[in-house]
Amino acid sequence: MAAGDFLLGKDLGAYRIDVTIGSGATGVVYRATPHAGGPPVALKVLHDNLGSITGLERRFKREARVLKKLSHPNIVEISEFGMEDGRTFIAMELLEGQTLEERLEESPLEPQEALRIYEPILEALAVAHEHDVVHRDLKPANVFLEKNGGVKLLDFGLAKMLSIDETASEDGTLTRKGRIVGTPAYMAPEQITGVFIDVRADVYALGVMLYELLADRRPFLYERRSELLRAHLLEPVKPIAQARDGLWVHEKLATLIERSLAKDAGKRFKSAKEMLEALRALPPDPVRFDITVTRKMARQRTGPSSAVISATERKLITESAGFSSVQVSPDVAAAPITPPVTPTAPSQERATLRLPRPPKEETPAVPTAALFVIAILLLGTAAGLWAMLVAT
């Protein structure tokens, strides 16, 4: 029996579970029928180790209320969040089509098709970012291409809900261990180090996705997770125009991608809205292939699953790369995603990546001024001796 099949034919909340659609690191998705009638829904049931914690219910519902307000044609519609018999589930509209990940498995995208898919993603995120909602797990597997040509974002906010490792203690309170949930291939540097995350982490993931759609490969192709995370922290990204034979990219588009992939969040676009404005300001046909679109080697898959990265693993990676591993404070990490009163707009400009400190320059044992005086005295003495020798 496959994982999650034990729920087939059973009831969960107001739904009857019919068939398994798919599964990943965070849960299993089913096709389910509402008892009250109406069209079937996609029901995502979180894995027991993620959704069965008693103290998680309040936080889950609080975040869910905010996410339900994100009504946009390019964001999957969420109809209900619930918990029953220790299982946490999300009911959302049932879509027909395939994920962007599945589409990329078939063949490379033509330039215009890539931009046609990409712009609605930015439009949806622009609305979310205006509400201070961060997706945190942007990737092709969380983009759905409908049969009618529509584009939908999936799993909005789920990574944030699961980003803090919460376990119930004996007195009913929660302890936080600082784990993060996300996909390493698209993870922003500050997300890896544990610095406070804002919408610019999504901007970085958007940069990785656009690079991938145009170059048919991601900026970093390491198989080992530790090497991949270190690359996000340290390695420069190969210019997009050099990433694929026959690819021509207008310099303004290349600059857009380079800016979105800046290691320092303070140098990226402030939000998806600003990035969308830059994309729309590009000249016509800013990218093309000068040769037939083919794939010389198998595409490196990321799959649908996110990774759960512990605080210990994150610390080892960041410190080995020469960075300070910073824990997000419990108050910040557990805060709701409603628009905060602070920080103010200027503070949003601050950098969130702590760079390794350069080695301190050694201070000379003798001050420079003293060395200069000594040199003058030595020259004077030498000149006097020379004069005496000449006189004799």
Q: Are 181 and 157 in contact (CB under 8 A)?
A: no
Q: Are 259 and 269 in contact (CB under 8 A)?
A: yes
Instruction: Number of helices (H) and strands (E) in the chain: give both, helices first.
Output: 13, 15
Residues noted as catalytic: 137
Q: Are 96 and 39 in contact (CB under 8 A)?
A: no
Structure tokens at 371: 């060395």
Rg of the chain (C-alpha set):
27
Per-state percent for the chain, helix, strand, coil, to nearest 5? 40, 15, 45
What is the spatial distance between Cα 311 and Cα 164, in angstroms, rounded to a whole number? 10
Q: Are 97 and 25 in contact (CB under 8 A)?
A: no
What is the spatial distance between Cα 285 and Cα 72, in angstroms, rounded to a whole number? 27
Exposed e or buried b per residue across 14-40, where buried means at least 16 C-beta atoms within 10 angstroms of its C-beta: bbbbeebbebbebbbbbebbbeeeeeb
Structure tokens at 128: 């979310």
Structure tokens at 138: 């942007």
Place of tokens 């949806």: 124
Burial of 154 (0-12, 13-18, 19+ CB in 10 A): buried
SS3 79: strand
Strand partners, 166: 176
Alpha-carbon dihedral 300, 226, 196, 220, rounded to 10 degrees: -30
